[in-house]
Amino acid sequence: MTLKEEKKNSIIEKSLLLFSKNGFYNTTIPDIAKAMSMSVGNMYNYFKSKEELAKFAIKYSTNILARDLREINQLQISSKDKVFLFTKKYLENVQKSPEVIEYFLRVYLSNREVFNKDCEGFLCVSEFVTEVMILLDEGAASKEFRQQDFFPAFAMIMGALGGFAFLSGEKVLDKEIVSYSDAVAQNIYRALKYDE
Amino acid sequence: MTSRECSKPKIVWLQAITCNGNTHSLLSANANRLKLFLDSFNLIYHPSLTTELLLEELLQQNEEIDFLLVEGAITSNKDFFQISNQTTSEVLKKLVLKSKYLIAVGSCASYGGVHKKFEQNSDIFGLEEALEKKEISSLFHPIINLTGCPVHPEWIFQTLFSLKEYKKIGLDEKGRPKEIYSHLAHHGCTRNEYFEWKVEAKSFGLKEGCLFYEQGCRGPMTHSNCNRVLWNDVNTKTRAGMPCIGCTEFDFPRDNMLETKKNIGIPDQVPIGVSKRAYLSLAGVAKTFKIERLHERIIK
Ligand code: SF4
Ligand code: SF4
């Protein structure tokens, strides 16, 4: 990674924190510059606009998940085990860096107008969606998962994980989020599994 | 036989277990090419055409054969198929001894084809499997598989003319001439732009859309030059709106040929040479673009 890329990433990390806490519109470039101890002018050397930064941030945050899932996909284990492992990884991420998931839920999903150019459809989240496709495809090919349409299956995984991250963000869970991991994974697996 | 005929390479066309489709294909060749072929070679025996020799005569005499072309699958089971009281396997073995080149014409002769799926007889093979190593040791060249159901007439001509001229041709690991079978049926298909942008054909026979996503097109996984050397000089399956069913491949015919096998909506097989991960990420991205032009009828 070049120095410039490293700097870009640390700006993204900082802005994820601010965006997820204060929302997209309430966070300004000067806010981010201040948190970075940088001048506003220098910020624009890295990102042309707040919108551009927001798009890089969604790629950055979903790529973290994509990397986790790719590693899991490459393991020689059953698809059921993959669902369990990924759920655990995901909930650990929520616990460790809640801003990453919060950003997805509170900024990406709620401010679609910011992302409707150059980030349409799967454009900015494609690495992650591809890994989910691989997980589903291999599970169905080995008859561990039943055949169904892609989107309901996709929503089953992402809905359950996203919803749980939301509950955690709202601080309504009784226990630590990771302790629910097997129960959530079990629900996802049951929704996908092959039935005779 | 005139002396000119004598100097031309001799061809024998044997029909084993076949639907006659490859013979039909040969006869539908471009008229000029067919004439050139008949002028350049001496077709001494073909069961569907008027030739001077009968099969029995051919088997009895000592005459050498340059090119033995076989259409159809081979069995040594007398109960299922016989020609002149002999099994196809017996006839084949006798003819191979007299021949320099052995060419499988069509997928049945190459790998057994549809007949190999016949459960009542497990003894049905393509040429390579039907013959033992020592039985083909006198041949000048490894067996050549001209796969296809049927084979394209031009593939037969190109192979014969090349062998006549150069005595040797390069084969792929399935015994097919590289010159013909190295590229995919997908190359030259007029629907490639629809393939790239993931625009599906709404039904068979339409000019618009690609047949890969729903209708089972095997163009990206099938070695053949159908879309570059057109059938009847005019058209191909995929250009006309019928999916390529992969008739030149080892596994032909497969089940459910007009469907794209999918897992949770994701194609089970992706184009040769592309990893599934790469294909899926490109496909997901391509799908987000809606190019109006590609969603319109060409002729309204
Ligand atoms: S119809 Fe078949 S051969 Fe033509 S572009 Fe689509 S996949 Fe390729
Ligand atoms: S397009 Fe495909 S199925 Fe049709 S003849 Fe060519 S290889 Fe065979």
Q: Whose CA is nearest to atom 4 of ligand 2?
A: B244
In this prediction, residue B277 carries a pLDDT of 93
Judge whether B276 is closer than 8 Å to chain A, CB to CB: yes
List, in order, residues 6 or more apart from B294 with CB less than 8 Å away.
B193, B194, B197, B199, B208
B226 is in an annotated binding site: yes
DSSP codes joined into one string, A23-45: -STT--HHHHHHHHT--HHHHHH
> CB A36: neighbour CB atoms within 10 A?
17
Judge whether B264 is closer than 8 Å to chain A, CB to CB: yes
CA distances from A121 to A142, B67, B296 (A): 29, 58, 22
Judge whether B288 is closer than 8 Å to chain A, CB to CB: yes
Residues of A whose CB is below 8 A from B265 = 148-151, 153
Instruction: Give the ligand at the shortest distance from the Cα of B248.
Output: 2
In this prediction, residue A63 carries a pLDDT of 94
Q: Distance between CA B205 and CA B123 in Å, rounded?
A: 38
Give the Å distance between the CA of B218 and the centre of ligand 1.
7
Q: What is the pLDDT of residues A43-91, one digit of tens each?
A: 999 999 999 999 999 999 999 999 999 999 999 999 999 999 999 999 9
In this prediction, residue B269 carries a pLDDT of 94
**Cβ of A133 and B280 within 8 Å?**
yes
Radius of gyration, CA atoms only, chain A: 18
Q: What is the pLDDT of residues A121-175, one digit of tens each?
A: 888 999 999 999 999 999 999 999 999 999 999 999 999 999 999 999 899 999 9
ipTM attached to this prediction: 0.82
In this prediction, residue A194 carries a pLDDT of 95
CA distances from B63 to B6, B58, B60 (A): 11, 8, 9
Residues of A whose CB is below 8 A from B288 = 120-123
Residues of B whose CB is below 8 A from A153 = 264-265
Judge whether B284 is closer than 8 Å to chain A, CB to CB: yes
Residue A192 tokens read as 């996908």
**Cβ of A122 and B277 within 8 Å?**
no
Q: Distance between CA A20 and CA A101 in Å, rounded?
A: 9
Residue B163 tokens read as 């062998």
Ranges of residues in chain B whose predicted pLDDT is under 50: none
Ligand 2: which atom is nearest the Cα of residue B148? 8
In this prediction, residue A139 carries a pLDDT of 97
Q: What's the gap in Å between the CA of A131 and the closest CA on chain B?
A: 7
Minimum CA–CA partner of B282 in chain A = A126
In this prediction, residue B2 carries a pLDDT of 60
Q: What's the gap in Å between the CA of A195 and the closest CA on chain B?
A: 14
In this prediction, residue B121 carries a pLDDT of 92
- Tell me which residue in A126, A145, A148 faces B281 most closely, judged by beta carbons: A126
Pocket around ligand 1 at a 6 A CB cut-off:
B 185-186, 189, 191-192, 195, 210-212, 217, 219-220, 238, 244
**Cβ of B284 and A129 within 8 Å?**
yes
Beta bridge partners of B262: B267
Mutation test residue for ligand 2: of B189, B221, B228, B245, the one with most atoms within 8 Å of CB: B245
Q: Say what percent of chain A tops pLDDT 90.
A: 83
- Tell me which residue in B263, B276, B281 faces A140 most closely, judged by beta carbons: B263
CA distances from A169 to A18, A21, A98, A185 (A): 15, 11, 8, 19
Q: What's the gap in Å between the CA of B281 and the closest CA on chain A?
A: 5
Judge whether B298 is closer than 8 Å to chain A, CB to CB: no
**What phi-psi label fits residue B76: left (phi over 0), alpha (psi between -120 and 50 degrees) or beta?**
alpha
In this prediction, residue B8 carries a pLDDT of 95
Give the Å distance between the CA of A111 and the centre of ligand 2.
49
B6 is in an annotated binding site: no
Residue of A117, A123, A125, A130 for testing the chain B interface, max B β-carbons within 10 Å:
A130
Q: What's the gap in Å between the CA of B277 and the closest CA on chain A?
A: 7
Residues of B whose CB is below 8 A from A139 = 263-264
Q: What is the pLDDT of residues B206-232, one digit of tens each?
A: 999 999 999 999 999 999 999 999 999
Q: What is the pTM of this model?
A: 0.87
